[in-house]
Structure 1
Amino acid sequence: MKTIFIDGTSLCFPVLKSIANILENTLPLLSKTYKIVLILPKEIDKSYIQQLGISDVVFNSGLNSDNFSIVDFIFRYLPGTRQIIRKYNPDFFWNPLSYYPFQRINSKTKFITMIHDLFTLHPVSKRSFLKKIIFKKLIGDTLKNVDGVIVPSAFTLASLELFFPKEIKKTRVKVIYNGISLPSHSSSYAEYQKPQDDYILFIGRLSYWKGTDILLDLYDRYNYNRYKLVLAGVIDDRAIEIKLKKVLQTNPNVIYKGFISDSEKEMLYKNARLFIYPSRYDGFGLPPLEAAIRKTPVIMSNIPVLYEITHGKGLYFDVRTGVSDLLQILESVDDTTLKKTAEELYKVARGYSWKTFVENFVDFTNRI
């Protein structure tokens, strides 16, 4: 059995929950093929590690134990990881956190990383010129120094080819779609009270790039009141935070839940009248599929990656026109159409499994 060292930083910091979700779903399956050694910045619950199918743990103290810093991760933690790999010389090293901008180690170890998106380089990110230069340098060096790169969509692959036409030729890149966790049938979410009225749901980062402003405008400028609006997720945008406070004070139909547990998320998904995802940019776009797997009707923006992952089976509005096109769909769509598209999207969502992800991952590593 071959050995794979995997960076488990995401399991230690809530801010990296989306990456942790990938590991939580793949490690138990990967443990059937590999001996897994987890590299961690600090101790975590031993029973949790055992549930993930981990054989052993190695600690790297390059990160502050309380707060995650991408600067510390790249310039302190990863060099320490490099020394660990040099010492143990495993067959593979997998870093699911995008970056590994260091020269190759002369060993048998094959280095694999995941590049989830190129958001920083997209105009909607509003990142400074300096941050874009630094990000481009880090990703470019990563492409030159790893043996394999996994991306979650053909859209992200095309973005890599656009921004890094030379560097991408120096490594192998494979599209492996993320899996979707099946709905929980546990009664654990019964503790959360279902909203009394029908509601539209949004789950994700509250920010301009996720289109939160479009939903807030729907209830503020357009005074939409057919359904309540429930927003859940961390606020990642100062302007959105200010606008949200205003709307919450003036419109009782808007509810902000903040960061929610998995159990409450399950309850909200299952009971929503509609899930709306007005994103301006995504590398994959998990929330619409999470709603679809629960047969909740979805309306989403018409960005290319959402067309890709939903196979064009959804209801889409033109995000460039913002609220007006979304409102037109909300006012014209009937229950029959919503039910039909929900059934079609459910079939699409069923095709995304972590088992398939792991099978593709193993096949990819064997070909490197």
Structure 2
Amino acid sequence: MRIIHVAPFYYPVIGGVEDVVKHIAEHMAGKGHEVYVVTYNRLRVGCIGSLPREETINGVRVIRLRPGITWSHGTYSPELPQVIKSLKPDIVHVHVWRHPHVFQVAKLKRQLRFKAILHGHMPFYPIFKVGPVTWGYYQLVDTFFNNTLKYYDEYIALIPLEKDIVINKLHVDGDKVAIIPNGIEYVPKTDVDKNQDQILYLGRISKDKNVSLLIKSMIYLKGKARLVLAGPDEGILRSLYQFAVRHNIRISYLGVVSDEEKYKLYLSSRIFAFPSKYDAMPVTLLEVASTGTPSVITGWGGQIYTAPPGRASLWAPPKPKEYAGAILSLITDEDFYKKLSSKAKEWAQYFLWRKILQIYEKLYEGLM
């Protein structure tokens, strides 16, 4: 098969979508298929034209188009149709709903005979996550341009919630929607001592991740636990530290950590805190579950599916006292903790990349 992935960004740009595209593309190339990634010659911020036009990365041929119009993470390139025509693909796997290339490929599909897959990547965010302007744009596209989706042979949803949205809001035929979650790598066994009072938060230190809920919850633990933060600070760390000092909260900040350090933190922590009210499919929750460390979550969205309460996590309302209560129960009830830890490990096994990639193989074969 000749397979083309069309994505907003690709390596060396790093992110959740980019990691998924890279895993699928390299896997199928390793199976002997001819695989291309068509993307844009830019980074997330600026640097237009700074990357090679074409190169081969781990058996995948990468073609970076000249951007015509750019905004935020969006790009339009008039080159795209001609490049796809010249490659004569069997399958075009398009990533991220609402980007211009979604509509360009749909138009080409009407002219050519390739099979088309749209991989939405759960782009359905509440207004408090993206702001009123972006949210308004989302509603406009979803309402007036959802007819485009009928030209795709398959829609890939990450979680059941996304499938429900595309069926009920975008009017996609349910038989054309497949749920394929993102994957995680196998975690090798490592001897790391667990700090029985350590709570870990690893992610962006930002307002939209609701880290302030976690800090305020620490008051109610009354010194029974210490908090470790890791990840990039997006301008709120100083105020969080000041709050912690005023309330005698034990806290430390490690900055951005490597993958090796990340897994050591997962293993050494008693509890992983995920205070975000809404996330699409936070793979971090699967990674930490694979180490046997349970999470405390809140809100709604992808975190409910990624770390099901009672199976990989405890859920609490987004209020400091209630959130602290869930944390405390995992600190004090050893039998319950061990059972949830074991269940979390078992749950994470379903999401290993070696299993997820087999699903993509079958999907592609079924379309041909």
What is the CA distance between 1:147 and its match in structure 2?
3.3
1:175-186 equivalent positions in 2, closer than 5 A: 175-184=179-188
Query: Could you tell me which amino acid in structure 1 is paired with residue 16 of structure 2?
Result: S
Match of 2:240 in 1: 244
Q: Distance in 2 between the 1:126 and 1:38 partners?
A: 28
Q: Which has the higher strand share?
A: 2
Q: Distance in 1 between the 2:6 and 2:53 partners?
A: 14
Contact kept? 1:12, 1:44, Cα under 8 Å: no
Structure 1 residues 295 and 249, CA gap change in structure 2 (3 angstroms) = same
Q: Distance in 2 between the 1:242 and 1:153 partners?
A: 35
Structure 1 residues 38 and 229, CA gap change in structure 2 (3 angstroms) = same
Match of 1:19 in 2: 17
What is the CA distance between 1:4 and its match in structure 2?
0.6
SS in 1 for 2:116: strand
Structure 1 residues 104 and 342, CA gap change in structure 2 (3 angstroms) = same
Structure 2, unpaired ranges of 5+:
42-50
What is the CA distance between 1:291 and its match in structure 2?
0.7
What is the CA distance between 1:136 and its match in structure 2?
3.2
Structure 1, unpaired ranges of 5+:
none
Percent identity over the alignment? 20
Structure 1 residues 12 and 61, CA gap change in structure 2 (3 angstroms) = farther
Query: Could you tell me which amino acid in structure 2 is paired with residue 29 of structure 1?
Result: H
Query: Could you tell me which amino acid in structure 1 is paired with residue 136 of structure 2?
Result: I
Match of 2:228 in 1: 230
**Cα deviation 1:195-215 (Å, max 9, x = unaligned):** 988421112233444332211
Contact kept? 1:203, 1:233, Cα under 8 Å: yes
Match of 2:37 in 1: 38
Structure 1 residues 180 and 162, CA gap change in structure 2 (3 angstroms) = same
Match of 2:137 in 1: 134
Contact kept? 2:37, 2:62, Cα under 8 Å: yes
**Cα deviation 1:36-91 (Å, max 9, x = unaligned):** 122242239978x12xx32x332312289xx99423x2x23xx4333311222211
Query: Could you tell me which amino acid in structure 1 is paired with residue 357 of structure 2?
Result: V
Q: Distance in 1 between the 2:170 and 2:346 partners?
A: 35
Q: What TM-score do you get using the length of structure 1 for normalisation?
A: 0.79
SS in 1 for 2:350: coil
What is the CA distance between 1:341 and its match in structure 2?
0.4
Q: Distance in 2 between the 1:44 and 1:323 partners?
A: 50
Structure 1 residues 294 and 88, CA gap change in structure 2 (3 angstroms) = same
User: Bigger shift: 301-310 or 352-361?
Assistant: 301-310
Structure 1 residues 254 and 162, CA gap change in structure 2 (3 angstroms) = farther
Contact kept? 2:271, 2:293, Cα under 8 Å: yes
Contact kept? 2:153, 2:176, Cα under 8 Å: yes
Contact kept? 2:293, 2:341, Cα under 8 Å: yes
Structure 1 residues 110 and 241, CA gap change in structure 2 (3 angstroms) = farther
Match of 2:44 in 1: none
Q: What is the aligned counterpart of 1:303 among 290, 297, 300?
A: 300
Structure 1 residues 151 and 101, CA gap change in structure 2 (3 angstroms) = same
Structure 1 residues 170 and 145, CA gap change in structure 2 (3 angstroms) = farther
Match of 2:45 in 1: none
Q: Distance in 1 between the 2:361 and 2:221 partners?
A: 51
Contact kept? 2:316, 2:323, Cα under 8 Å: yes
Q: Distance in 1 between the 2:67 and 2:301 partners?
A: 38
Give yes or no for the alignment of 1:57 onto 2:56: no
Match of 2:262 in 1: 265
Match of 2:47 in 1: none
Structure 1 residues 314 and 38, CA gap change in structure 2 (3 angstroms) = closer
Query: Could you tell me which amino acid in structure 2 is paired with residue 326 of structure 1?
Result: Y
Q: Distance in 2 between the 1:143 and 1:235 partners?
A: 38
Query: Could you tell me which amino acid in structure 2 is paired with residue 107 of structure 1?
Result: L
Q: Distance in 1 between the 2:202 and 2:351 partners?
A: 19
Q: What is the aligned counterpart of 2:252 among 227, 251, 255?
A: 255
Contact kept? 2:91, 2:114, Cα under 8 Å: yes
**Cα deviation 1:239-269 (Å, max 9, x = unaligned):** x456435336655622233332212212211
Q: What TM-score do you get using the length of structure 2 for normalisation?
A: 0.79
Contact kept? 1:201, 1:269, Cα under 8 Å: yes
Query: Could you tell me which amino acid in structure 1 is paired with residue 316 of structure 2?
Result: D
Give yes or no for the alignment of 1:113 onto 2:112: no
Q: Distance in 1 between the 2:169 and 2:238 partners?
A: 34
Q: What is the aligned counterpart of 2:103 among 97, 101, 104?
A: 101
**Cα deviation 1:131-165 (Å, max 9, x = unaligned):** 22322344544535533221110011112234323
Q: Distance in 2 between the 1:354 and 1:20 partners?
A: 14
CA-atom RMSD in angstroms = 3.4
Q: What is the aligned counterpart of 1:173 among 164, 170, 177?
A: 177
Query: Could you tell me which amino acid in structure 2 is paired with residue 12 of structure 1?
Result: P
Match of 1:280 in 2: 277
Structure 1 residues 218 and 4, CA gap change in structure 2 (3 angstroms) = same
Q: Distance in 2 between the 1:171 and 1:356 partners?
A: 22
Structure 1 residues 135 and 231, CA gap change in structure 2 (3 angstroms) = same
SS in 1 for 2:187: coil
1:193-232 equivalent positions in 2, closer than 5 A: 198-219=197-218, 222=220, 224-232=222-230
SS in 2 for 1:95: strand
1:352-363 equivalent positions in 2, closer than 5 A: 352-363=351-362
